[in-house]
Amino acid sequence: MKKILSISLMALSAFAYNLAPAQMKTINITKTYSGETYAKKQVMVATRLMGYIKKINVEEGDVVKKGELLFEVDPSDIYSMINQARAGVLQAQNAVLMAELAYADAKKDYDRFSNLYKQGSVSKRDYDKMTLNMKIRKSQVEMAKAMLAQAKAGLDQALAQKKYSKVYAPINGVVVRKLANVGDISLPGHPMLILANLNSVQARAFVKAQDVKLIKKGQDADVFISALNKKVPAKVSSIILSGDPATHSYLVKFKFINKNKNILPGMYAKISVKIGNKKETVIPYDALTSRGGIVGVFVNNSGKAEFREVQILSQQGNSVAVDNVKVGEEVVILPPANMTDGTPLN
């Protein structure tokens, strides 16, 4: 047994291990936050009419162009209003005609009595009665014309309401929510659809209070979109300094540097922001290993391997900042699975 162990140790000692010294480097301090993409510009599309929804031409996720027909409301009630308004206009026109005829007769009587009054053939009382009658008839004409103008305005309003039975897309965008179905009753001002402008897609995340003071507007960031498996460069566009009292966090928004049509609202995102830098002890990433579920490294201790548990402070490329290792100490690169404390390194 001793002979076998001796042969194993000799074999290990004959193996040339690659060692690398721990170095002091200035590293970036980066924090990563969970967030999402969203459309900065959203439009809630509604109708001004109350009625049954007759037709909806789009579904959630559909891309629409400005001016495209979205949905229709049954205009039956509007046609009834238009017919009533037209009847009101005809009635008001007849009233104006009758009032003008009555005024014309009153004006003739007035003119005739005026001449007779000047000749002394009629009394002042009869003359005053004709004058008053003419004024009354004239005021009735003005009142009838006012009623006609009101009736025409009602007709114009009813005709204008007709165009609201068809609702068109106000912007280019995507349907992110559909809030009604065919057969539902539409209510004036109540949203039927929500459209999002795809050219306004940004990212946002909630940042803890201790970090938000380190983030500045215009600061660089990287947004990893898991659905696209892609990292997209961005910048901090705004910081909402009204915090959430429940989570003690603040909303930070990020604008993508380059537009990407594949980034849609509602995608999960991991947002990394550089919040500072500091000097740390750095080793190659390949020196990390695990023993019994504990992450650590093997350090060269007088020519023999010594396993040390370490905590990874940050990673930058192929280098990691760790604790429990001093600058200048050598660590084993890619240590074999059978390496243990005391394994000879040279």
**For range 227-248, the mean pLDDT:** 89
Q: Specify the pLDDT at position 343.
A: 93
- Is the confidence at residue 8, as pLDDT, over 70? no
**In terms of domains, do 14 and 143 share one?**
no
Of the listed ranges 115-124, 154-163, 238-247, the least confidently predicted one is 154-163
Average pLDDT value for residue range 280-289: 95
Check pLDDT > 90 for residue 322. yes
pLDDT given for residue 106 in this prediction: 86
Same domain, 81 and 60: no
The residue range of the domain holding 96 is 76-163
Q: What is the pTM of this model?
A: 0.54
Give the model's pLDDT for residue 247: 83
1 is a domain residue: no
Least confident span in 59-68, 157-166, 237-246: 157-166
Mean pLDDT of the chain: 86
The answer to the question of residue 283 being in a domain is yes
With residue 286 as reference, give the H or E element that holds it.
Answer: none
Q: Are residues 81 and 214 in the same domain?
A: no
Q: What mean pLDDT is predicted for residues 242-251? A: 86
Name the percent of the chain lying above pLDDT 70: 95
What is the structure's pLDDT at 155? 81
Let me know whether 87 and 216 are in one domain. Answer: no
- How large is the average pLDDT for residues 136-165? 84
pLDDT of residue 241: 85
At residue 15, the pLDDT reads 55
Residue 340 belongs to a domain = no
Cβ–Cβ contacts within 10 Å for residue 94, how many? 12
268 to each of 33, 219, 240, 316, how far by Cα in Å?
11, 21, 20, 23
CA pair distance 148, 87, nearest whole angstrom? 11
Is 4 within a domain?
no
Single residue among 196, 218, 251 that ends a domain in this structure: 196
Contact 113, 122 (CB under 8 A): yes
Give the per-residue pLDDT at 37.
93
Residue 173 in this model has a pLDDT that exceeds 80: yes
Sheet containing strand 51-56, edge to edge, reads 166-168, 69-73, 51-56, 185-186
Name the band, by pLDDT with cuts 50, 70 and 90, for residue 338: very high
The CATH number covering residue 309 comes to 2.40.420.20
Residues 104 and 156 occupy one common structural domain: yes
DSSP secondary structure string, 114-179? HHHHHHT-S-HHHHHHHHHHHHHHHHHHHHHHHHHHHHHHHHHHHHHHHHTTEEE-SSSEEEEEE-
Least confident segment among 86-90, 96-100, 213-217:
86-90
Q: Are residues 283 and 255 in the same domain?
A: no
232: which residues sit within 8 A by CB, 6+ positions away?
A: 222, 223, 224, 225, 256, 257, 258, 260, 263
123 shares its domain with 102? yes
Looking at residue 14, what is its pLDDT? 45
The answer as to whether 341 is a domain residue is: no
Residues 59/192, Cβ–Cβ less than 8 Å: no
- Asked if residue 60 and residue 188 are part of one domain, the reply reads yes
Residue 12 pLDDT > 60: no
Q: Report the number of distinct structural domains present in the chain.
A: 4
Clarify whether residues 218 and 238 are in a common domain: yes
Residue 10 has pLDDT above 50, yes or no: no
Query: Are 170 and 65 part of one and the same domain?
Result: yes
In a domain, 125, yes or no: yes
CATH of the domain at 192: 2.40.50.100
Residue 134 located in a structural domain: yes
Q: What is the pLDDT of residue 28?
A: 79
The SS3 call for residue 63 is strand
Mark whether 103 and 224 lie in a shared domain. no
